[in-house]
Chains A and B, each alone.
Chain A
Amino acid sequence: MSDSVVFSRRDFLKLVGVGVAGAAAGCAKPPADKLYPYLVAPDDILPGVPYFYASTCRECPVGCGVVVRAREGRAIKIEGNTQHPIGQGGLCARGQSSLQGLYDPDRVKSPMVRTGTTWKSVTWDEAVATVGEKLGAARGRTLLLTGLESGSLRALEGAIAAAAGARHVMWEAFGYEAVRAANLKTFGVAGMPRYAFESARCVVSFGADFLETFGQPVSQARGFAAMRAKHEDGAGHFISVEPRLGLTGANADEWVAVRPGTELSLALGMAHVILAENLGPALAERGALVSAVAAFTPEAVAAQTDVPAETIQRIARLFAASKGHGLAVAGGIATQGANATALVAAVNLLNYAAGNVGNTVLFDRPLALDGLASFAEFAALTQEMADGAFDLAFVHGANPAYATPAWAGFADAFGKVGYKVSLSGTLDETAALCDMILPSSHALESWGDAQTAKGVWSLQQPGMRALPMFESRATGDTLIAVATAAGLTGSWGATAFDDLKARWAAVHSRFGNGRSFEQFWLDSVQAGGVWEPAANTAVRWTGTPSFTAPAPVEGEFALLVTPSNNFYDGRGANKPWLQELPDMTSKAVWGSWAEIHPEVAAKLGVKNGEAVVIETSAGKLEVPAYLYKGIRKDAVALSLGQGHSAYGRYAQSRGVNALALVPKGTDEASGALAYQGAAAKLSRGTKAMALYLQQAEKNQHGREIAQVIPVAALLAGSAHGNGHAAAGEGHGHSLGRLTEKGGILSEEVQQKPGKYTEPLARPEGYQPPAHSISAFEPKEKVRHPRSNPVTEGSYGKNAKHRWAMAIDLTACNGCSACVVACYAENNIPVVGPELIHKGREMAWIRIDRFEDKLSGGANDVRFIPSMCQHCSDAPCEMVCPVYATYHNPEGLNAQVYNRCVGTRYCSNNCPYKARAFNWFDYSAPEKTTFAFPEPLNWQLNPDVTVRSKGVMEKCTMCVQRILEGKGNARDEKRDLRDGEIQTACAQTCPTQAITFGDLADPASAVHAKSYGERKYWVLEELHTRPGVTYLQKIQRETTNEGHA
């Protein structure tokens, strides 16, 4: 047996509930060694049985609750913790991919010292001694620069900083400075509210990418989906006010293409209409508000914003019609401009004037952002560094060398610090500037806690023992060791784990409820933390700022540097899943591009994918152009996150860092860096460029793949449908009727019964034999996933289930968390940009983006998750010569990898093109095409085959999870419960757009959705009878005055 388990069996049993691997990580670390299989297995580990550890996601400051799934001591998947108030079971694409941070092959292997440009490995003892000595000597001249920290680590850092006389500065690239400053001014609270989308009836977003990076995206996405599902009385509108339609904006019913930087005027113009027409509640501050917006008449605003006055009035009235349940959100790059604070204040005023504050703008569970330095404060700190104020600097969780523009001078100033120590786990740009690296363990292999939102104390439990090939230590352990070596004393524990537990004594005293600490600790660790019910802090209007009309951007084009849904501020770029995940606006992968309007491109003579040069006063970049109709003609947009000069093989030298174009400029009121609004010049580039698109065609060509249903048709239809059901038909509605009613299919001719397609006249009560299901049977019977020859015939006569999926396109917002979850669950290889560009993507689920209307005004961009449809009459099954793909008795279209010869006929005949072929050997470690370099292969799910060269693969509806669920039910001698089995995509979906279940169970959720209103099958006319049913996206008309 491996000596990796060094504690005794007694200790082992004590910690069983906490988790074997976690306990190992918390104790002293054994030396790195080889792995041996269990000869004498520990009593409590069953090979093949997963263990789950509640923890906290640390990929962004939000800190969603997660559950780590571990198999044989390795974390193989993380999923949202359904019990946790942050995330509520959903997890975004970045969170899903944090496993690849843990298993990043480019993690720092041991402490390292830099001499010149080369790094030399040293032992921990030497490293700690060296740094301890420096810390002892640099009393009062030490800087501790971290990302946003909370909980025990922050307290520990504070304590050590106090003992060492050091300064602790927390800085984040997305620090919400303007939001905090404006809220302080208008509400007297320097925090960020929680936006209760679920209570809203109408949302107006001022550039806020609230489904991507802004605020608490996962929770917000869930609330947003709940709002969008409301359609009964005209609710659920979403209007996006931004110069460039991002992923969040693409979900809007209407795109108000405002001139860059003038969102402020539009918000005030709306407030002006509401106040002038007295559409909001009676307010004590009305006088002050009216005078603040007096200059912003719709006509004046129209001139400033390039938005017609009628539109401003219309959306203001629509917004106010929600009677206190509208929600205006300012965020994203709109709050990273020269007048950002004024904009947020204006939006606060708008919310206040419409009576939304307290209903949809709540301070019950805001993000904890206190103590976070603004960019201006960070710039001041940079100046201090440049002035030689520090002899020693520790950096942890922040990468300012990448995430600040060059003119901020961080690299030079940092060079003036006497000795620089990075506690980063990877060699990022800032670590590359340091003199020593003391690698920190990844969040998934170390203990910790987080208080990222008010009233929530999350615990971060390791999902596994620290990876043996990396000699890393928990950040807290490193700091304690260094402090001890420096001879510092203070109130901290002997190890970070002790310290954490000690600091949780306070939480225990508050939430213990008479439990012993150990019991409380165990309960908390198992649950992922403790939290109290959200209680709103009422705010009142504390001050009305005076607003001045924003000055227009001077140059021909305004530069928009947008946060990335995939990479956040750039920290996601070293994860191949995120690089391979298409950006949901351009559908580009593995690189950078500039979004420009096609007309602008035509003027420049630039085609899609050709080089364009963007020049601002700060610099010049040459990138491929992406022609995008969702951007104003006077703007050019680049996304953040790429262009790393270090940070591992997956991040390095991909695309450009858009910050190189951001000129000197901040929002003076808050100190936020201005990502938006610099004057830019465009010209045709000369370099050969590559734009790797995963989906080139975004026009549906009338194919009705992603369908919508107007609210009016839906309301009329549900009345009709109810009446029909009451007549005792019992079949639900047929798809044919729905399409006739809604006029959904453009190809009417295919829907008309012809001479030979009329249902055959049958005597009353005639039951067709199972084998005779044919096109001559009535539609209601034939087009019924359950009347499947396979499940009705002798082959599957004992089959109890028909696995199926229902996907609600109203809820799907294109966030792509499902895609990454599928990569993680199903061992899907990452193939790199060239192969993606060739059309060799391996993803089993992809989200197609269709731009039906994208030119300002009414907006119709549709996202449709597309995977194997598990057809009852599968075209792929018919053509496989060797039965490698066949229909299993439970309705799954199964793919037998070891039977597959690789004729690829199945893919050619699949109308959904849901199949991926292994063009190369992605699974052979000896080949250059190996997709899982050590230790990324540690993440592979042992329940799923890693496919070899030459075989076809596709979505299995997570058959391994189905088997696991069925096995569990059998062991417990019970029937399966609906919802017990969830596919990886359905599990992670922040909006629960995907419902998986058993169609043979009439009480199941998937049954209700599959036979409910809005249902349709993609390419129904091909009669494939899919197991995946889609629910049409509810479409609202906003440009129609009467409708509002």
Chain B
Amino acid sequence: MSSAISKNIAVDGVNDVPDRPVTQKTLNDDVLSMVGWPGKVWWALFLFDLIVLAVALAAVRNLIVQGWGVSGFMRPVMWAVDITNFVFWVGIAHCGTLVSAVLFLFRSHFRRAVYRIAEAMTVFGVLTAAMFPAIHTGRPWFDYWLFPYPNQRQLWTNIRSPLEWDVFAVNTYLTVSSIFFLVGLIPDCAAARDRAKHPVLKLIYTIFSFGWTGANYQWKHFYGAYLFFAALATPLVFSVHSVVSWDFAMAQTPGWHSTLFAPYFVAGAIFSGVGMVIFLLVIIRKGFNLQHLVTIDHMEKLAKLVLLTSCMVGYSYLTEFFMAWYGPSKAERDVFWFRATGHYWWAFWIMFSCNVIFPMSLWFKPVRRNMTALLVLSILVNIGMWFERFVIIVTSLTRTFNPANWFYYKISITELALIVGSFAWFFMFFLVFVRVLPAFSISEIKETLPMPKRRAH
């Protein structure tokens, strides 16, 4: 196998998927061997994850029982880590649909090796993100009031509110990305079903394979449906994060009120999402020895996507500063000056260096093909993108129009628990996912394999 890897590197990324030593048989074996009773490492990770999650749940319990006063929130900074986490995880969730739907439509075949991971990340990312709007309210037990359901009190929701748009955008995205994820899983689950020995697992795969037999008409419908969902999901890549950005852009708070926000947020979301995909893939391909399935070439293409979006994000940062300087609003100018030099200067410079300066190293090919470098960069990108949202929310709210209200937000232990808890929540799903469902698309990778040779009659 090691020779295969070295060979792949030598080939230098001409093929999308290595033709050797992957065969129909080894592919099934490789992918489906990930599924099954986990080992000690997995259990250790999972247990640690649950402990972290339990701590975070204790924090959430305090938030609900005692009130949001246990956080560091105050006037004027009434949102901080809650919405930062929300936007961060929605952003993470973006990459999956981009990789699976947009790249599918553009026939970028390198996606085949990575899209299952990216889609799973999308679904779990949205599940994580959706937690935060739900718990960040002062009275979470009334969150259902945000849904426009008929009620005898004749109360309705305010459709002018960007938060209401969020409700629809996030729910739409969760629905479509989940369907997309589950549809793509059908043939692979059928393969797993056929191999499964344990009756429970067999049942699970039977359910997820939806009666798949591999018949020709099933393949026909499957591809038809897949194309349809790809077309349906593509606009969502742009709409969801645009809507999320309008939470800010529609407000008149200086530092938020900008028409740039929608494209800026979409680029940032893809940036962080691809970063997260790289992070997960580097670990999984190493952990499960799948370097021949997810090749260096695949990773390099993802790295190029990071470079592209990093440039877009960097351009947006500079545009914001330019517009603040060029525009008429003193409040806007002050808030941007404060952002770069004020009380939270460190957050700004973490954001700027992680998102714009460090990714510039990806202009160099050796960096793009070095897994350690990609791992470090992907972590930095995600730190940077978390801080981007933090900077946008907290620095803008800290310096609003009336200087009499300028107070500094100080993070509390509760919010730290929320941050690590969100990761624990995400990885809880993900850890289960890699052990239960095929993490790579067997059927799509098989499409690139040569047909089995048959003897002539």
Give A residues with C-beta under 8 Å from B: 695-703, 705, 746-747, 749-750, 835, 838-841, 846, 848-850, 866, 875, 878-883, 899-905, 907-909, 911-913, 915-921, 929, 949-952, 1018-1019, 1022
Q: How far is the CA of A908 from the CA of B78 in the complex (A)?
A: 6
Are A883 and B156 closer than 8 Å at their CB atoms?
yes
Q: Per-residue 0/1 for B241-253: is the Cβ within 8 Å of any A Cβ (1 yes, 0 no)?
A: 0000001001111
Q: Which of A879, A899, A919 is close to B155, meaning CB atoms less than 8 Å apart?
A: A899
Given the known inter-chain contacts A907-B75, A908-B78, please indicate yes or no for A950 contacting B401, CB distance below 8 A: no
Are A919 and B404 closer than 8 Å at their CB atoms?
no
Q: How far is the CA of A286 from the CA of B274 in the complex (A)?
A: 92
Q: Which residue of B lies closest to A841 (CB)?
A: B75
Q: Which of B160, B161, B162, B401 is close to A1019, meaning CB atoms less than 8 Å apart?
A: B401
| B139 part of interface (Cβ distance < 8 Å) | yes
- The interface residues of chain A lying within 8 Å CB-to-CB of B72 are 838
Are B328 and A866 closer than 8 Å at their CB atoms?
no
Given the known inter-chain contacts A702-B330, A880-B161, A881-B157, please indicate yes or no for A901 contacting B75, CB distance below 8 A: no
- The interface residues of chain A lying within 8 Å CB-to-CB of B160 are 878-879
Q: Which of B137, B156, B252 is close to A909, meaning CB atoms less than 8 Å apart?
A: B252
For this complex, 20 residue pairs linking A to B, each with C-beta atoms less than 8 Å apart, are A696-B406, A698-B404, A699-B403, A700-B403, A703-B402, A839-B407, A849-B404, A881-B163, A900-B139, A901-B143, A903-B136, A903-B163, A904-B138, A905-B163, A908-B78, A908-B397, A913-B76, A915-B75, A918-B67, A920-B67
Q: Per-residue 0/1 for B122-161: is the Cβ within 8 Å of any A Cβ (1 yes, 0 no)?
A: 0000000000000011110011011000000001111011
Number of A-B residue pairs, CB cutoff 8 Å, is 173
Q: How far is the CA of A887 from the CA of B261 in the complex (A)?
A: 29
Are B162 and A883 closer than 8 Å at their CB atoms?
no
- The interface residues of chain A lying within 8 Å CB-to-CB of B252 are 875, 909, 911, 1022
Question: Which residues of B193-248 have CB atoms within 8 Å of chain A's CB atoms?
Answer: 247
B side interface size, CB within 8 A:
50
Are A901 and B139 closer than 8 Å at their CB atoms?
yes
Given the known inter-chain contacts A840-B74, A917-B138, please indicate yes or no for A908 contacting B402, CB distance below 8 A: no
A261 to chain B, nearest CB (A): 35
Q: Which residue of B lies closest to A1019 (CB)?
A: B401
Q: Which residue of A lies closest to B136 (CB)?
A: A903
- The interface residues of chain B lying within 8 Å CB-to-CB of A749 are 328
Q: Which residue of B lies closest to A831 (CB)?
A: B69
| B68 part of interface (Cβ distance < 8 Å) | yes
Given the known inter-chain contacts A703-B402, A838-B74, A949-B138, please indicate yes or no for A905 contacting B161, CB distance below 8 A: yes
Are A921 and B67 closer than 8 Å at their CB atoms?
yes
Q: Which of B146, B401, B403 is close to A881, meaning CB atoms less than 8 Å apart?
A: B146
Chain B interface mostly: loop
Q: Which residue of B lies closest to A849 (CB)?
A: B404
Extra contacts besides A749-B328, A878-B250 (7): CB < 8 Å: A696-B406, A901-B139, A903-B163, A904-B78, A905-B163, A912-B401, A921-B66
- The interface residues of chain B lying within 8 Å CB-to-CB of A949 are 67, 138-139
Given the known inter-chain contacts A920-B66, A920-B67, A1022-B252, please indicate yes or no for A903 contacting B137, CB distance below 8 A: yes
Q: Which residue of A lies closest to B254 (CB)?
A: A911
Most buried by B among A839, A902, A905: A839
| B422 part of interface (Cβ distance < 8 Å) | no
Q: Per-residue 0/1 for B49-79: is the Cβ within 8 Å of any A Cβ (1 yes, 0 no)?
A: 0000000000000000011110011111111
| B334 part of interface (Cβ distance < 8 Å) | yes
Are B404 and A705 closer than 8 Å at their CB atoms?
yes
Q: Per-residue 0/1 for B320-336: is the Cβ within 8 Å of any A Cβ (1 yes, 0 no)?
A: 00000000111100100
Q: Which residue of B lies closest to A1018 (CB)?
A: B402
Q: How far is the CA of A878 from the CA of B162 in the complex (A)?
A: 9
Are A916 and B75 closer than 8 Å at their CB atoms?
yes
| B22 part of interface (Cβ distance < 8 Å) | no
Give B residues with C-beta under 8 Å from A: 66-69, 72-79, 136-139, 142-143, 145-146, 155-158, 160-164, 167, 247, 250-253, 328-331, 334, 397, 400-407, 410
Are B400 and A883 closer than 8 Å at their CB atoms?
no
Q: Which residue of A lies closest to B163 (CB)?
A: A881
- The interface residues of chain B lying within 8 Å CB-to-CB of A899 are 145, 155
Q: Which residue of B lies closest to A878 (CB)?
A: B160
Are A697 and B137 closer than 8 Å at their CB atoms?
no
Q: Which of B66, B77, B137 is close to A901, meaning CB atoms less than 8 Å apart?
A: B137
Are B403 and A908 closer than 8 Å at their CB atoms?
no
Q: How far is the CA of A299 from the CA of B266 in the complex (A)?
A: 72
Given the known inter-chain contacts A899-B155, A909-B251, A911-B400, please indicate yes or no for A697 contacting B145, CB distance below 8 A: no
- The interface residues of chain B lying within 8 Å CB-to-CB of A1019 are 401-402
Most buried by A among B138, B155, B163, B253: B138
Q: How far is the CA of A750 from the CA of B407 in the complex (A)?
A: 27
B376 to chain A, nearest CB (A): 35
Given the known inter-chain contacts A881-B167, A929-B69, A950-B68, please indicate yes or no for A695 contacting B404, CB distance below 8 A: yes
Q: How far is the CA of A876 from the CA of B157 in the complex (A)?
A: 15
Q: How far is the CA of A187 from the CA of B194 in the complex (A)?
A: 113
- The interface residues of chain B lying within 8 Å CB-to-CB of A879 are 160-163, 250-251
- The interface residues of chain B lying within 8 Å CB-to-CB of A951 are 138-139
Q: How far is the CA of A880 from the CA of B158 in the complex (A)?
A: 7
B165 to chain A, nearest CB (A): 9
- The interface residues of chain B lying within 8 Å CB-to-CB of A697 are 403-404, 406
- The interface residues of chain B lying within 8 Å CB-to-CB of A835 are 69
Q: Which residue of A lies closest to B77 (CB)?
A: A839
- The interface residues of chain B lying within 8 Å CB-to-CB of A700 are 403
Are B138 and A883 closer than 8 Å at their CB atoms?
no
- The interface residues of chain B lying within 8 Å CB-to-CB of A900 are 138-139
- The interface residues of chain B lying within 8 Å CB-to-CB of A912 are 401-402
- The interface residues of chain B lying within 8 Å CB-to-CB of A952 are 138
- The interface residues of chain B lying within 8 Å CB-to-CB of A950 are 67-68, 137-139
- The interface residues of chain B lying within 8 Å CB-to-CB of A849 are 404
Q: Which residue of A lies closest to B143 (CB)?
A: A901
Q: Which residue of B lies closest to A911 (CB)?
A: B401
Q: How far is the CA of A995 from the CA of B447 in the complex (A)?
A: 79
Q: How far is the CA of A104 from the CA of B453 in the complex (A)?
A: 94
Q: How far is the CA of A495 from the CA of B405 in the complex (A)?
A: 54
A750 to chain B, nearest CB (A): 5
Are B78 and A917 closer than 8 Å at their CB atoms?
yes
Q: How far is the CA of A848 from the CA of B404 in the complex (A)?
A: 6
Give 10 nearest A-B pairs by CB, closest first: A902-B138, A950-B138, A919-B69, A839-B74, A904-B78, A848-B404, A839-B407, A913-B405, A950-B139, A920-B69
Q: Which residue of A lies closest to B71 (CB)?
A: A919
Are B251 and A902 closer than 8 Å at their CB atoms?
no
Q: How far is the CA of A875 from the CA of B251 in the complex (A)?
A: 8
Are B402 and A918 closer than 8 Å at their CB atoms?
no
Q: How far is the CA of A592 from the CA of B427 in the complex (A)?
A: 50
Most buried by B among A703, A908, A909, A911: A908
Q: Which residue of A lies closest to B247 (CB)?
A: A905
Q: How far is the CA of A848 from the CA of B402 in the complex (A)?
A: 9
Q: Which residue of B lies closest to A838 (CB)?
A: B74
B171 to chain A, nearest CB (A): 13
A338 to chain B, nearest CB (A): 39
A891 to chain B, nearest CB (A): 19
B140 to chain A, nearest CB (A): 8
Given the known inter-chain contacts A840-B75, A907-B78, please indicate yes or no for A703 contacting B251, CB distance below 8 A: no
- The interface residues of chain A lying within 8 Å CB-to-CB of B69 are 835, 840, 919-920, 929
Q: Which residue of A lies closest to B396 (CB)?
A: A908
Q: How far is the CA of A703 from the CA of B407 in the complex (A)?
A: 17
B398 to chain A, nearest CB (A): 10
- The interface residues of chain B lying within 8 Å CB-to-CB of A696 are 406-407
Are A913 and B156 closer than 8 Å at their CB atoms?
no
Q: Which residue of A lies closest to B412 (CB)?
A: A838
Q: Which of A747, A866, A901, A929 is close to B402, meaning CB atoms less than 8 Å apart?
A: A866
A869 to chain B, nearest CB (A): 11
Q: Which of A705, A882, A907 is close to B403, meaning CB atoms less than 8 Å apart?
A: A705
- The interface residues of chain B lying within 8 Å CB-to-CB of A1022 are 252, 401
Q: How far is the CA of A838 from the CA of B285 in the complex (A)?
A: 47
- The interface residues of chain B lying within 8 Å CB-to-CB of A913 are 75-76, 400, 402, 405
Most buried by A among B75, B250, B403, B406: B75
